[in-house]
Amino acid sequence: MTEGNITDVRSFNRFYTQIIGLLDKHILNSQYSLLEVRILYELYHREGTSASEIMLSLNIDKGNLSRVLRYFEKKKLLTKKRSINDGRSAYLHLTVAGKKEFEALNDASSRQIKEILKNLSTADCDRLIQYMAGIKIILSNVG
């Protein structure tokens, strides 16, 4: 890692921060906040998970998480079922409506990416995917 390399990494970080900001802004036009969408994502992909698991995986405050979950419950997107093993904890399940809601957001997100990338050549597209996968692999080993 030379000084030049560090500069390049940081330049990429600034660049990609912008990209992500752009994508996030899109989500914020939905009726959900960024936090809510991230939590919904976890709920969808970890059927039956618990609040503390989400808390750890997203690194968010448990107080705020608790309130978002309560809000989802009120909107009938989520049901809680007290754990048999541990009376303090609850299994979290999206309702059918909750899953639909997530899928709608998810589709909108995918469409947005597709729209942004629609003009890429096949070669560029392949390279993009390859580079992203490469970065993920390389950086997965440093954390």
Partner DNA sequence: AAATATAGTTGTTTTTTACAACTATATTCT
Partner DNA sequence: AGAATATAGTTGTAAAAAACAACTATATTT
Cα separation, 69 vs 32, whole angstroms: 13
Contact (Cβ atoms closer than 8 angstroms) between residue 106 and residue 114: no
Cα separation, 100 vs 120, whole angstroms: 30
SS3 state at 39: helix
Which residues inside 6-65 make contact with a second copy, applying CB under 8 A?
6-13, 15-17, 19-21, 23, 59
Contacts with a second copy by CB under 8 A: the residue count is 45
Q: Tell which residue, 77, 41, 44, 38, has the closest CA to residue 60.
A: 38
Q: Please report whether residue 90 would count as binding DNA according to CB under 7 A.
A: yes
Residue 78 C-beta: closest distance to a second copy, Å: 21
Which residues inside 21-80 make contact with DNA, applying CB under 7 A?
28, 33-35, 50-53, 55, 60-67, 69-70, 80
Which stretches of the chain bind DNA, using CB under 7 A? 28, 33-35, 50-53, 55, 60-67, 69-70, 80, 86-90
